[in-house]
Chain A
Amino acid sequence: MMILKLSSILLILVQKFTFSDQIDNMETENTNKRSFGKILFIILTSIISLFIIYYSVMSMISPGRKMEEIKKEFEAKSDDKNGVEGQIFKDSAYLMLLKERSFLQSRIVMAQTDSIYLTINMADSTANIEISGVVVHKAKMSSITASRILLADNLNSILSMLPTPFTISKTFATIKKEPVMIKMAPKDTSEYKPDIMPDTSITEPVNYILLMNNGIRIYVYQEETVKANDRMSHLSFDLKDRLRDTWNSLKSVAALKVPEYHPFIKIRLPRTDAKIIYRAIPKNGQIAVFS
């Protein structure tokens, strides 16, 4: 409401100033110059407005495109089937069992590897670290938000995305994966200084994004805002990600392509748990999701 009022005041003022300009134009000798400026202004405004509309439309198309891609992969088990067999795939209890099976299949695949991996269970809000099938760390998520494509009981997404573990392809984080400190060896015993006690009071904000090989993005944010810096760090980290994403989308749209859509899962965890998970899972680690 406030924004609307402000916008209308602004519009009135613009109209007044522009109207005055028209009168001024009649009085000055630079009428042509001003008219040219005005035309240029109108053209530029129109181009920018059109581009933004075009960009918004293309962006809105992208989730549908992603869905179509998923659907194409699993044409055989399409939910468009008629009859009892088709109806089964629409039944909530059956879909729940399918999800459960997918999650277990995914965990078994990862348990057979020798690596540390993460399981995210959105149903019971837990994020666990497992090694060879053994849960070694449990964390409770305080909030979860996810793309509709993952949250909706969508048969295609369940069948295509969940039974195979996601593999991390890239990460962006506010903390180091391995906090390695370099220490130069002393030349002789006179230069030797024993190690001092490490400073454990340093509490850098923990926020990170895990980019998966199937296009899904997992955002992990620390739950606490202990210091004012925590909120700022979260905001700037989020802004950087949005800028990166928007830049890529703008490049696609400029090349007349539909921008790539990345389904996301955003979770909030206690700072320590978020840090443990980030440092525990390998660079190209795997994740199983139960949505």
Chain B
Amino acid sequence: MDKIINDGTQPEIEKKAGGDKPVNGNKNRPDTTLWQKFRARKTLFSMVRFVFFFICTIIVTFSLILFILYVVPLLKELSPLHNTEITNNQELKKEPLYKKQTSLLTKDVQRLSLKVNGYTSGQSYIVINTIENRFYLYTNKKLIREGFCSSGSYMMLQTAKNKKWVFKTPKGKYWIHGKTTNPVWKRPDWSFVEEGSPIPSANDDSRYEYGVLGDYALALGDGYMIHGTIYKRFLGMPVTHGCVRLNDDDLKIVFNTLNIGSKVYIF
């Protein structure tokens, strides 16, 4: 049967190939025969054809998706926009109106620049980077000390009764509310909950701990402080309950540099 089909179709193709271009006719002949032989094996031919169309469909679909995802956004950027035609006309610069307008704008820019620069205080202030756990101390707009600190751990302490505390250092602009030497830590409720101990009364003796906050403490309000630590190996890491811990040397300099009212920038 296959042979009959071959015999029937071959002359037609030969005619087609050789009819228009007789020179190429002989050249095409072996190819055509090979193609015919391949076509004669119907099952194989159907399978190859199916695989071919399947691959083609995948390629085309994939190309279309790539076109939509990557080429169309590019085309958006290439589309024409009505831009201002920028000039650098020297004649225009001599015009009195131009001079007046530019001078007004320059004055405006200078005024605004002064205002922006004025925001940075000439007095001492400290910047605390809670992501890298570093601090930067400035006086007269100059960095005088930098080093490691420890800030909030972002730990959420949760009780069985669903009471929660999140230990994070607040971010934003603060100022020094008070300065203390040899501070005493009055343990808050979470400190007992964290250990699994019962919470004592507000002024119970067990709430007071001596020497754990270092030699100095600077209050930031709402119970947050900059203080020393006995856990010096944790400096540079987020391990605290919200306060900022410094090592003894850094703390001494910070304590002596900052005054009550000095700005504290935490981010």
In the bound complex, residues from chain A placing their C-beta under 8 Å from that of B197 are 188-189
Q: Contact check, B9 vs A10: say whether CB atoms are below 8 A apart.
A: no
The tally of residues in B whose CB lies under 8 Å from a CB in A reads 83
Given contacts A23-B9, A84-B95, A180-B155, 12 further A-B contacts (CB under 8 A): A91-B86, A101-B105, A116-B172, A136-B267, A154-B81, A182-B158, A183-B157, A192-B194, A198-B153, A198-B237, A246-B69, A261-B76
Q: Report how far A61 CA is from B101 CA in the complex, Å.
A: 36
15 residue pairs of the A-B complex, CB under 8 angstroms, read: A17-B49, A59-B72, A64-B81, A84-B98, A87-B87, A88-B97, A93-B93, A108-B116, A148-B83, A181-B155, A182-B155, A185-B160, A189-B196, A190-B196, A197-B239
Q: Report how far A182 CA is from B162 CA in the complex, Å.
A: 12
Q: Contact check, A185 vs B67: say whether CB atoms are below 8 A apart.
A: no
A34 located at the interface, meaning its Cβ lies under 8 Å from any Cβ of chain B in the complex: no
A79 located at the interface, meaning its Cβ lies under 8 Å from any Cβ of chain B in the complex: yes
Interface residues of B in 84-131 (CB under 8 A from A): 84-89, 92-93, 95, 97-98, 101-102, 105-106, 108-109, 112-113, 115-116, 118-121, 125, 127, 129-131
Q: Contact check, B267 vs A111: say whether CB atoms are below 8 A apart.
A: no
Q: What is B's interface to A at a CB cutoff of 8 Å?
A: 5, 9, 35, 39, 45, 49, 52-53, 56, 59, 64, 67-70, 72-73, 75-89, 92-93, 95, 97-98, 101-102, 105-106, 108-109, 112-113, 115-116, 118-121, 125, 127, 129-132, 153-160, 166, 168, 171-173, 193-197, 233-234, 237-239, 263, 265, 267
In the bound complex, residues from chain A placing their C-beta under 8 Å from that of B83 are 148, 152-154
Residue of B nearest to A146 (CB): B77
Q: Contact check, A92 vs B86: say whether CB atoms are below 8 A apart.
A: yes
In the bound complex, residues from chain B placing their C-beta under 8 Å from that of A186 are 194-196
Q: Report how far A261 CA is from B81 CA in the complex, Å.
A: 13
Interface mask (A151-181 → B, CB under 8 Å = 1, otherwise 0): 0111110000000000000000000001111
In the bound complex, residues from chain A placing their C-beta under 8 Å from that of B194 are 185-186, 192
B126 to chain A, nearest CB (A): 10
Residue of B nearest to A250 (CB): B68
Q: Report how far A62 CA is from B195 CA in the complex, Å.
A: 60
A280 is contacted by which of B131, B153, B196 (Cβ under 8 Å)? B131
Q: Report how far A189 CA is from B197 CA in the complex, Å.
A: 6
Q: Report how far A242 CA is from B74 CA in the complex, Å.
A: 12
Q: Contact check, A93 vs B77: say whether CB atoms are below 8 A apart.
A: no
Q: Contact check, B158 vs A185: say whether CB atoms are below 8 A apart.
A: yes
